[in-house]
């Protein structure tokens, strides 16, 4: 997955690699990321474990209220402590003490490791033995000054919600699907027995597109009140169902984020058929989704194919079907507004 950040080796993309592709056996990675967001403006670069434990335990306790399953294991000392805190059985001081003792044994070491590979840039240094905590690097502060920083905060929360919901459904992975609800712009988890709203589609997809329009690579926002807030677009239009009613039009494999100009501007896509080059780009984007693991991996493989070749053929079949239905030769593609990032 080094290709994700090597194409455009920015701090934002290194950070996104951690959030999207880092190992998920518990939610501690997300809690640590959100704690660092909280502590960015504290004025301190040395963050002792007792200071780190305050936001770390707070975020876990809050998410336990949303979803009691916060890992592949049923319990842990920190999760149990947060549950006891939520039920008023222990004080915050006791919670912080237990978090310092048990909360950081693995997550600090594993944070910068993505697919068994250490990232070339670090956002903190482990100084537990010498300074009793971690030291934030200049990289982290530079990350906070980027235009994408607010989006990264939303993307972290969104990814956490997706992962914990998949754990909570507690069924075989192949039975869980993630679909899009157009009325609310929300991703829905469905295991055939229970249908649950999980997270907004924009923050869930934005990281995989690196904060850029899928079609022209112009920088976009996912903030609803922002002038450049991205549209959620169906790569293949709804009319594809006239060819095959079983096509997952609202599945994540067919959803992309687009700038307003590309989606509905004067020369926008609307219901036009994108070019073959854009079809290849969709396949590449979907492979990023596949490598982010549960639950997006299982959803895409179930909907589009178990191997990369089968998934590519699935998209090609849908493309051929759309082209045949519209009976046009000219395909739509906008002028590039940035470098090709996937």
Please spell the DSSP secondary structure of 189-201, one letter per residue.
EE-SS-EEEEEEH
pLDDT band, very low/low/confident/very high, at 294 (cuts 50, 70, 90): confident
pLDDT per residue as tens digits for the range 246-274: 777 888 999 999 999 999 999 999 888 89
Give me the mean pLDDT over the 271-295 stretch: 91
pLDDT per residue as tens digits for the range 62-77: 999 999 999 888 779 9
pLDDT band, very low/low/confident/very high, at 327 (cuts 50, 70, 90): low
pLDDT band, very low/low/confident/very high, at 243 (cuts 50, 70, 90): confident
DSSP 204-260: HHHGGGTTB-TTT--B-B--TTSTTBPEEEESS-TTHHHH-TTS-TTBGGGEEEE-H
pLDDT per residue as tens digits for the range 162-219: 999 888 876 555 567 888 999 999 998 877 667 778 899 999 999 999 999 999 999 9
Say how far apart CA 39 and CA 42 lie, in whole Å.
Answer: 5
Check residue 112 and give its pLDDT.
Answer: 96
Question: Which string of b and e fits 92-112 if b means at least 16 CB within 10 Å?
Answer: eeebbebbbeebbeebbebbb
Give me the mean pLDDT over the 309-314 stretch: 94
Closest CA to 213 of 336, 315, 300, 319: 336
DSSP 14-40: HHHHHHHHS--SBTHHHHHHHHHHHHG
Check residue 192 and give its pLDDT.
Answer: 66
Q: Dmax of the chain from CA atoms? A: 69
Check residue 193 and give its pLDDT.
Answer: 64
Check residue 262 and give its pLDDT.
Answer: 97
**Sign (positive/negative) of CA torsion 265, 267, 320, 337?**
negative
Between 260-264, 287-291, 320-324, the lowest mean confidence (pLDDT) is in 320-324
DSSP 49-76: HHHHHHHHHHHHHHHHHH-S--BSSS--
pLDDT per residue as tens digits for the range 73-123: 877 999 999 999 999 999 999 999 999 999 999 999 999 999 888 999 999
CB atoms under 10 Å from CB of 247, counted, come to 21
**Sign (positive/negative) of CA torsion 166, 188, 114, 106?**
negative
Say how far apart CA 175 and CA 171 lie, in whole Å.
Answer: 7
- Whether 128 has a pLDDT exceeding 90, the answer reads yes
Question: Which string of b and e fits 71-80 if b means at least 16 CB within 10 Å?
Answer: beeeebebbe
Say how far apart CA 15 and CA 11 lie, in whole Å.
Answer: 6
pLDDT band, very low/low/confident/very high, at 2 (cuts 50, 70, 90): low
| CA dihedral angle for residue 121, residue 127, residue 132, residue 138, rounded to 10 degrees | -40
Closest CA to 122 of 137, 101, 109: 137
Check residue 160 and give its pLDDT.
Answer: 96
Give me the mean pLDDT over the 21-50 stretch: 93
pLDDT band, very low/low/confident/very high, at 329 (cuts 50, 70, 90): low
Say how far apart CA 322 and CA 240 lie, in whole Å.
Answer: 6
- Whether 332 has a pLDDT exceeding 90, the answer reads yes
Closest CA to 199 of 179, 223, 170, 219: 179
pTM given for the model: 0.92
Q: How crowded is the C-beta side of 47, counted as CA atoms within 13 Å?
A: 29
pLDDT band, very low/low/confident/very high, at 25 (cuts 50, 70, 90): confident
Check residue 280 and give its pLDDT.
Answer: 96
Q: So where are the chain's domains?
A: 2-144, 162-326
The answer to whether 332 and 276 are in contact (CB under 8 A) is no
Check residue 45 and give its pLDDT.
Answer: 95
């Amino acid at each position: 997955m080094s290709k994700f950040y090597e194409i455009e080796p920015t701090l934002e993309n290194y950070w996104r690699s951690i959030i999207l592709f880092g190992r998920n056996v518990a939610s501690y990675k997300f809690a640590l990321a959100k704690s660092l967001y909280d502590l960015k403006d504290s004025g301190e670069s040395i963050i002792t474990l007792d200071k780190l434990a305050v936001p770390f335990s707070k975020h876990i306790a809050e998410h336990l209220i949303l979803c009691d399953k916060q890992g592949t294991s049923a319990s842990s000392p920190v999760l149990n402590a947060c549950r006891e805190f939520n039920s008023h059985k222990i004080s915050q001081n006791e919670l912080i003490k237990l978090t310092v003792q048990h909360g950081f044994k693995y997550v600090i070491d594993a944070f910068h490791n993505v697919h068994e590979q250490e990232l070339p840039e670090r956002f903190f240094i482990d100084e537990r033995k010498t300074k009793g905590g971690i030291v934030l690097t200049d990289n982290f502060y530079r990350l906070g000054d980027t235009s994408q920083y607010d989006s990264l905060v939303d993307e972290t929360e969104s990814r956490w919600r997706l992962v914990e919901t998949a754990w909570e459904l507690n069924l075989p992975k192949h039975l869980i699907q993630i679909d899009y609800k157009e009325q609310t712009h929300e991703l829905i988890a469905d295991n055939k027995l229970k249908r649950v709203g999980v997270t907004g589609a924009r923050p869930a997809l934005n990281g995989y597109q690196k904060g850029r329009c899928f079609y022209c690579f112009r920088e976009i926002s996912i903030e609803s009140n922002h002038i450049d807030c991205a549209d959620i677009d169906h790569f293949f239009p709804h009319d594809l169902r006239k060819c095959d009613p079983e096509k997952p039009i609202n599945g994540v494999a067919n959803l992309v984020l687009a700038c307003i100009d590309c989606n509905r501007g004067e020369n926008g896509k609307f219901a036009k058929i994108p070019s073959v080059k854009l079809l290849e780009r969709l396949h590449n984007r979907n492979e990023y989704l596949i490598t982010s693991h549960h639950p997006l991996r299982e959803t895409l493989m179930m909907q589009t194919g178990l191997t990369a070749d089968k998934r590519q053929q699935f998209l090609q079949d849908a493309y051929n079907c759309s082209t045949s239905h519209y009976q046009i030769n000219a395909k739509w593609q906008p002028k590039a507004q940035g470098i090709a990032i996937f």
